Structure 1
């Protein structure tokens, strides 16, 4: 019985050694294939780094990423400074387009210190109307712009307006336009000859009139960029022919000979009263 047990144990150990050897040879063959593929890929006698080496080099990769982020942040700051400098120097005149839009919104609690002036004004308005005062308000990211036709736009961000849940994005306000100072980009000497085209918002028109500039309302959504001119009654149709005959009669009545000489094919008989 002891002999049988020993032989069985030896067979199991031999089988284990054979299996381990086969597994090791298979791993070696896979490792050789990876090295061969790396050599073919790189074209050099340098293999790819192992996962352990990559883990050791992760700290260096993170430092490189941090340096790149810092470099991009510096570039953005330089670009922003140049944009602010250009905006301060830019002036517009002539035919000027003005408009505003909301790019998005985000929630703000009633206790948010950043928007306390807007929240207090809106809360007082809701209290006067007898409405429920919410605990969360929404601030709209609004951008205003002014542009001379054919030129680059000048953008500005006023104090963000605050609304309640479910409200539509607010339009431009007179106070917000004054804060940006966009209409003051028009030089004082050129304001009488400058025309402001707004997209129907009365705040732009009111401030333009206060600054002694002409303003007209157009509809950019309907591709309307000029002021429609209403023709006079004597400009079209039957009124035009009647107006022409009246003017011709006055000319002939004033100087019949001169009119006949100027228009030999046009003959008009003028009858005297009582003839």
Structure 2
């Protein structure tokens, strides 16, 4: 196996940071062999069959083209959940894991109705249902591919979450409830002008519609979510949003101008303004 490990490191060295290459070694061997990190270390001297080495080479070749490893293996981990992922649906991010943790640590697991807008793989909705089992959780998206994937992930993790079609920009679709106690969203928020700062694997493979917004209308999704909330969020209902780190004050001001109070901008573990929280007052 050491020969295979050396091969992975040699092929990916210089294309990715050393720490990421090390994580790829564990991810790839874990995927093809079903080994965890400890078992990989204990079986370092094992000679792998040719077909297994060939699978490793195929994965590495795709990584050299900057394809996200989550799309290659077809899965990822998110707040302890095993999630299927596929092209056309955004790969869940660590920042979004933090959003789920913040909500579940702050909110009591009661019978609240929660709506995740732009659910994608269903990661937020499923994470909240896992840690707040008493809640009724819903997730909506404009993408049928995303809705199908989110339903797959609900079955995979044995979680009861209802996913449905809804276009937040046009406010078009059939809602499963008239009012929700909480709205959560990680909408597109990366400016078109910020594309130059993005990694090649993101630009080449991930869905741009789930990432980017026009420079001349950067808060378009937050405004539409706020409009939606005024009709469908219960009095004193909560809103939790993931945001562009440079737009905290603007998103906060938008909510305050649209009947939200106690609005705060929260920093992520890297010290960046990443989340906005508020309560709605009719």
TM range (shorter): under 0.3
TM-score using structure 1 length: 0.26
TM-score using structure 2 length: 0.25
More helix, by proportion: 1
More strand, by proportion: 2
Larger radius of gyration: 1
